[in-house]
Amino acid sequence: MIQKMKKYHFVLHHADYNSFLKDLQNLGVVHIIRNVDTPNETQVRQLEMVSRYTDAIKILKKADTGAEKSQSSMSTKAILDKVEDAVRTLDELNREEDMLRKHIRDLSPWGYFDQELEAKLEAAGVMVDFHTCTKNNFDPEWQEDYTVIKINEIAGIVYFVVLYLDEKPELDCDTFTFHQYSLKEYEAQLAQCEQKQADVNQFLEDIAAEGISRFQEEIASIMRDHEFEDATQQAIDEADNHIKVLAGWIPTTKVEELDAYLNEKGVIHFSEDAKAEDSPPVQLRNNWFASLFEPIGKMYMLPYYNEFDLTPFFAPFFMLFFGFCNADLGYGLVFIALGLILKHKAKDKAAKKIMDLVIVFGVASVIMGLLMGSMFAFDLKETFLNPLVLVRDNDQIFNFALILGVIQILFGVAINVVKQTVKNNWKYSLAPLGTFLLIASLALLGSELLDADISAIKPIIPYTLYGGLALMMLFNQPGKNPIANILSGLWLLYNVVSGFFGDILSYIRLFALGVSSGILGFVINSIGSQFLDIPIAGPIIFIIFMIIGHSLNIALGALSGFVHPMRLTFVEFFNNADFQGPGMEYKPFGQKQ
């Protein structure tokens, strides 16, 4: 459900404004109404510092080896400067390393050439030229006509020198020019460069644990200051800037705490119940099970303040759909075990909550796997669990997917009926009620194709069908004349009928995903069983193959089991429930959430 809000206006003397904001920040319950969105210079500098600390954390996380945190007497800012200097130094050393390695690659084919020898030869009148060419372009006649000495041949490239006294030979090849230093000198420089890199990396490794911890604390401190600086700009100045008026939203459950502070400090304030036209922020409040699915709903958008929170309504379906896509008892146990292990290792509440969701998905997979008779793609109908297997073949799975689709679509339309009654007027619920009756009637008639026996209720279906049509035609726009209603009703009828069959087709993917996961598991088992025929190593290969194969299948199933139910929720269910958004998230000023 959506938490009810109250709107507060605080009237303060400008000299008391900052101290009031500090107290408000410590309370952490008021969502301040914004009047200024452009950051000032102080906020810009704060965000720049946060960016620097964030980049430094990324660097240190790569260098962190998990060693115990060292203690440094340097300030946090000094550590940041040292880390940034180290990163710049490391970048320069990396560029230097690349250049040195290139020079070494160029000189390596010539070996450790003594350039002094070349100077002695030239002093004696013997000139030396260094050349390279492809093996195909090297002319053997050069060796007969001139003094040509082959030095090396690598990857089809010939490296050779030409000695001459007077006239320089004209050869169709490239001339090689040596670099400033010799190969040995470059190798020595590379060793020095690598040692400097090791020293810098060692520094980053030594400071990593402490740096990450202190940088994270500093980011939290800066963001708190940034939040405060932002709040100082949101008040409206009155009475020649002597009076400041600040407005904000607060959940009704926190009103008592805020009022106690305001009365203690004697702060002038006014409050009123939130109105939808003022666009209050939205805070979701659900039970433990439904709250697990709140992050999924937020991935789409939050509802408007005066809308229904659909989280508790789509949560059971989402769980069931995930189980449908991963209908395997063994896979479900893997999800549960994985969730329990990672929850134990998780440190923050958000991560623990995600792991709770993984466990819930695992329970759904266990239940659906038991009902459909599969454990790691082995058939449970041949075991003692056979009496618990209710779905016996693919036709039943197909029908089950269609039934689930119809139920969720009708449930969404029913929610819309109730919502229109609560939000607007009973007249506005008549058209959605007509949609509900029409879809229900069509679904019941269609169930005969699935061999369902509807003889007991078939006589009343025409009444619900035509009654639904009448409501859609006559009350889709209450207050307008009948002709306008009928014309718009025809358009509504077209959308409902075409949309209904399109939505139903989407739910068939549940069948396809569930069956494909089972088929992949069966293929893995079939291939794996063939390894058992190999003497000695066969069982080991079988176990390794089964672990890898089923792990990949579980990963694919988890992805499809999350993505497709999310699509069914956001497109089919939200559309039929007439979901309206986006709402603004409740973000209280301060650290207390």
Output the pLDDT for position 69.
62
Instruction: Tell me the residue range of the domain where 457 lies.
Output: 288-576
Q: Tokens for 96?
A: 């230097």
- Which pTM value belongs to this model? 0.79
Q: What is the DSSP string of 242-292?
A: TEEEEEEEEEGGGHHHHHHHHHHHT-EEEEEE--GGG---B-B---HHHHT
399: which residues sit within 8 A by CB, 6+ positions away? 450
CB 521 within 8 A of CB 553: yes
Q: Tokens for 454?
A: 């509807």
Rounded CA gap, 94 and 87, in Å? 10
- According to DSSP, the residues that pair with 249 across neighbouring strands are 7, 31
Rounded CA gap, 222 and 227, in Å? 8
Domains held by the chain: number:
4
Are 240 and 362 found together in one domain?
Answer: no
370 falls within a domain: yes
585 falls within a domain: no
Are 99 and 206 found together in one domain?
Answer: yes
DSSP structural state of residue 36: -
Are 192 and 298 found together in one domain?
Answer: no
593 falls within a domain: no
Are 53 and 67 found together in one domain?
Answer: yes
Residue 241: give its domain's CATH number. Answer: 3.30.70.120
Are 91 and 164 found together in one domain?
Answer: no
Output the pLDDT for position 25.
92
Are 430 and 567 found together in one domain?
Answer: yes
465 falls within a domain: yes
584 falls within a domain: no
Output the pLDDT for position 593.
42
Are 5 and 72 found together in one domain?
Answer: no
Are 441 and 349 found together in one domain?
Answer: yes
CA–CA–CA angle 549, 552, 557 (5° rounding): 125
591 falls within a domain: no
Please choose, from the candidates 448, 549, 566, 441, the residue with its C-alpha nearest in 3D space to the C-alpha of residue 509.
566
Containing 5, the helix (H) or strand (E) segment is strand 5-13
587 falls within a domain: no
295 falls within a domain: yes
Q: Tokens for 24?
A: 């408000």
Are 71 and 138 found together in one domain?
Answer: no
Across the 593 residues of the chain, what is the mean pLDDT of every consecutive 10-residue run?
94 92 93 90 94 94 77 86 94 94 90 78 86 90 87 91 86 86 90 94 90 92 92 90 92 93 92 91 94 94 93 95 93 95 89 94 94 88 83 84 91 93 86 89 84 84 89 80 79 82 87 90 92 88 93 94 93 92 92 51
Are 75 and 154 found together in one domain?
Answer: no
Q: Tokens for 211?
A: 């740096």
Are 413 and 467 found together in one domain?
Answer: yes
The number of C-alpha atoms within 13 Å of 552 and in the hemisphere containing its C-beta is 9
Are 548 and 406 found together in one domain?
Answer: yes
Instruction: Using the Cα atoms of residue 368, residue 372, residue 375 and residue 380 in order, give the sign of their dihedral.
Output: positive
Output the pLDDT for position 362.
96
Output the pLDDT for position 591.
61
Rounded CA gap, 201 and 94, in Å? 12
Output the pLDDT for position 70.
66
Indicate the burial class of 323 (C-beta count within 10 angstroms; 0-12, 13-18, 19 or more): buried
